[in-house]
Structure 1
């Protein structure tokens, strides 16, 4: 772990490799798990505002879940998150054949909304936990992403480079530039415990 501004960052995001492999996993992260995508308070307001433009992209099951539960919910742990369909799929999930995609992102790609998707989805496999004085930035290992780890290793793409755009979106360009400096220093001077 190392500190970067008001963040505590796991070295795993610099050392582990990852590239989403949708052809292998079929977007399983959007349909597996026991909770919706984590949201910030600001994002709940955005979802409320853009829902009418996103709705035409969604499945009837997703629309029913959202209209029954709301555009966002408070999870069992008190965190804000996207609603689920029957405690499984994210309500915003759509399918292209057997591959899960994000209905919000489809509306974004069509130019109908200017918000790509929740930053927690954009950042994955990085998870950020906000505390009073700092944010913890960690690599989230999930067995459904084993193909993404294999592809990342094959292509030699570290996690932080794979989610570059999302990290800049969340923390800013200056923060990301500093992260790159730390990555370069670690690569040039690995400590014995990191080998």
Structure 2
């Protein structure tokens, strides 16, 4: 484990290699899970403020689920999350012409309709963040790819020699800031030179 500020980062974040291979997994992480995407408090406000910009990119089924369940729901284990359709695909997800699941919020962002990309928990996958039960200020930052779903991404990461923390640079900076990422990079460099 690596400690940076109030975060404990698993060694796998630096040591393992990963690059999403959407042609193989088809964005399956958007429909294969125990709940919808975990949301931070400020992200719920983003969804409320920008739902009308996101809605045109959603499927009719997704819109119906939002109307039925709400823009986000509370899960006992994960806190506030996006709703899902029949316990599967995220209500904000849609399939493109190649069958790859995309995010309606991210598509609206890509089209310049809003300045919020998507839930940071989605952006960080396969890193998962957990708050400590003993110390609410402490967070655990763990690399948790799905065994079957992420097999192609692990293989592609190894082939391209891209560590998880480099693949997720933008997401890690978005979550924790430049200083955190620079510290993580420094630890990675130190480990590489001393292994």
TM-score normalised over the length of structure 1: 0.95
User: Over residues 45-97 of structure 1, what are the superposed CA-to-partner deviations in whole Å (9 max), with x where a residue is unaligned?
Assistant: 11111111100010000000111111111014261100000111100001112
Distance 1:147 1:122, change over 3 A: same
How big is the shift at 1:112? Answer: 0.3
Secondary structure at the counterpart of residue 102 of structure 2: strand
Q: Which moved further from structure 2: 68-77 or 176-185?
A: 68-77
1:34 and 1:172 mapped to 2: Cα distance?
A: 28
Runs of 4+, deviation exceeding 4 Å: none
Distance 1:78 1:167 in 2: 20
Partner residue, 2:21: 21
Match of 1:158 among 158, 163, 177: 163
In the alignment, does 2:193 pair up with 1:184? no
TM-aligned CA deviation for residue 141 of structure 1: 2.5
Match of 2:89 in 1: 89
Tell me how far apart the structure 2 counterparts of residues 45 and 75 of structure 1 sit (CA, whole Å).
Answer: 18
- 1:75/1:113 CA distance change after superposition, 3 Å: same
Mapped partners of 2:165, 2:188: distance in 1: 9
- Within 1, Cα distance between the matches of 2:186 and 2:45? 35
Supply the distance in 1 between the matched residues of 2:137 and 2:28 (Cα, whole angstroms). Answer: 33
Deviations 1:114-173 (A, max 9, x none): 000000000111111123131111101212111000000000000000000000000000
Taking structure 2 as the reference length, the TM-score comes to 0.95
Which blocks of at least 5 consecutive residues in structure 2 are unaligned? none
Pair 1:68-2:68 in alignment? yes
Give the secondary structure class of the aligned counterpart of 1:84.
Answer: coil
Q: Could you tell me which residue of structure 2 aligns to residue 57 of structure 1?
A: 57
Instruction: Note the C-alpha offset of 1:40.
Output: 1.0
Deviation at 1:180?
0.3
Comparing 147-156 with 92-101, greater Cα deviation is found at 92-101
Q: Is the 8 A contact 2:35 2:78 kept in 1?
A: no
In structure 2, how many angstroms separate the alpha carbons of the residues matched to 1:30 and 1:78?
Answer: 15
CA distance in 2 between counterparts of 1:76 and 1:28 reads 23
RMSD: 1.0
